[in-house]
Structure 1
Amino acid sequence: MYRSEQIVFDKEKPHRVIVRNYTKDDFEQLIDIQKECFPPPFPSELWWNNEQLLNHVSLFPRGALCVEIDGQVASSLTGVCTNFNPAHPNHTWEEATDSGYITNHDPNGNTLYIVDISVRPTFRSLGLGKIMMQAMYHVVVEMQLDRLLGGGRIPGYHKQAGNMSAQRYVDKVVAGELYDPVITFLLKCGRLPIAVVENYLEDEESLNYGVLMEWKNPFKLL
């Protein structure tokens, strides 16, 4: 099981944070985080429910991480193991994660797939998302997997859709010509885009597009 402690700074004020696996005791806070992170028009039925969370901590507890600050759960990251073939990247979030229930978790899979990452808005200046992503990289290395992979939303795309394709939008974000709150964040975490997928997730802001972004295990030759 995973547990680490470190200090983060809100301007000059230090906060001690604990990165750990989440448990049943955290479920209520984890659902609250989803509500804060994904308000309407994001579909409320895609917020976590207790059955999904129970599967996370039962089927793949190593992939269920959170950050605790002063006794409060401030963020969470959930993963599942799957087999991924880069030659055939197209899929939906529902297919990859069994709609967040992860009953398709494959202990012998080659890829750690990110199901969800959420940080309470009031804690987003502390870099908790990057801290959790780095912790999940540790899991990839420990399990000797090929990669970490996940589909990122492109919430800024709806503002540019009349001017360019989703692929062109992503290329401009990678080039630093545009900023996207999700894709730019994932780039800063060390992940690289490998494919733009249509109808990846029901999301009005992204026009249902997703961008598959991976971090390759540097200790394996792929």
Structure 2
Amino acid sequence: MYRKELYVFEKDKPHAAVVRNYSEQDFAELIQIQAESFPPPFPSELWWNREQLTNHVTLFPEGAICVEVDGVLAGSMTGLLVKFDPAHPEHKWEEITDNGYIRNHDPHGDTLYIVDICIRPSHRKLGLGQLMMQAMYELVVQRGLQRLLGGGRMPGYGRHASEWTPQEYVERVVAGEVKDPVLTFLMRCGRTPVQVVPNYLEDEESRNYATLMEWKNPFLS
């Protein structure tokens, strides 16, 4: 199991942090973090539920990561293993993640697929998302996987949908002409765009598009 102790900084003030695997004892707090991160009118039935979380820690506990800051649970990231065919990259979030239940987790998969990342609003300027992403990269290396992959929402695209295609929008984000809250964050974490995917997730801001964002295992040719 995974556990890393380090410090995160609020300006120049250090705070003790721990990145570790989450367990059943964390479920109530993880659901509370979802409630804080996705308040009404976001439907509460789309927050994590106990059955989903139980599957995460049972089917693939290595892919169930959380972060504490000064002893307070502040966020989580979840993944599963899949076999990914780069020649046929298009898919929907609900299909590849089993709607977050990950019953399709493949122990022999070659790709660590990110199901979800969620950070408590009060802790969003501490670099916690990058810390958890790094833990997932380490898992990719440790297991000898080909890549980490996941669909990145494009919440800034809706404001430009009348003037640019989704691909043109991504090209402008990559060029630094536009900053997207999700895609730019994922690029800062070291991930690169692979392909724009339509109908990935019901998401009005992104016009239902997402961009597959990849991190390749640098130890594999």
TM range (shorter): over 0.9
Match in the other structure for 2:173: 173
The amino acid of 2:60's aligned partner reads: F
Match in the other structure for 1:218: 218
Match in the other structure for 2:34: 34
Distance, in Å, in 1 between the alignment partners of 2:107 and 2:201 is: 25
Match in the other structure for 2:151: 151
SS of 1:80's equivalent in the other structure is strand
The amino acid of 1:147's aligned partner reads: R
Give the CA deviation at 1:157.
1.1
Q: Does 1:141 find its partner at 2:135?
A: no
1:29-67 deviation digits (Å, cap 9, x = unpaired): 111222222335544332111100000000000000000
Contact 2:17 2:71 in 1 (8 A): no
Give the CA deviation at 1:215.
0.2
Distance, in Å, in 1 between the alignment partners of 2:52 and 2:71 is: 23
Match in the other structure for 2:109: 109
Contact 1:111 1:145 in 2 (8 A): yes
Distance, in Å, in 1 between the alignment partners of 2:172 and 2:37 is: 25
Across the two proteins, how many residue pairs are aligned to each other? 221
The amino acid of 1:70's aligned partner reads: D
Distance, in Å, in 2 between the alignment partners of 1:174 and 1:63 is: 28
Structure-2 change in CA distance of 1:188 and 1:8 (3 Å):
same
TM-score under structure 1 length normalisation: 0.97
The amino acid of 1:71's aligned partner reads: G
Structure-2 change in CA distance of 1:107 and 1:200 (3 Å):
same
Distance, in Å, in 2 between the alignment partners of 1:46 and 1:149 is: 22
Structure-2 change in CA distance of 1:189 and 1:203 (3 Å):
same
TM-score under structure 2 length normalisation: 0.97
Distance, in Å, in 2 between the alignment partners of 1:96 and 1:218 is: 24
Distance, in Å, in 2 between the alignment partners of 1:215 and 1:159 is: 28
**Gaps in structure 1 of 5+ consecutive residues:** none
Post-superposition, which runs of at least 4 consecutive aligned residues in structure 1 deviate over 4 A? 40-43
Give the CA deviation at 1:202.
1.2
Contact 2:190 2:215 in 1 (8 A): yes
**Gaps in structure 2 of 5+ consecutive residues:** none
Match in the other structure for 1:90: 90
Structure-2 change in CA distance of 1:41 and 1:183 (3 Å):
farther
Q: Does 1:67 find its partner at 2:86?
A: no
Contact 1:42 1:203 in 2 (8 A): no
Give the CA deviation at 1:201.
0.6
Distance, in Å, in 1 between the alignment partners of 2:197 and 2:53 is: 26
Distance, in Å, in 1 between the alignment partners of 2:186 and 2:111 is: 17
Q: RMSD of the TM alignment (CA)? A: 1.0
Distance, in Å, in 1 between the alignment partners of 2:80 and 2:6 is: 25
Out of 204-213 and 83-92, give the one that drifted further. Answer: 204-213
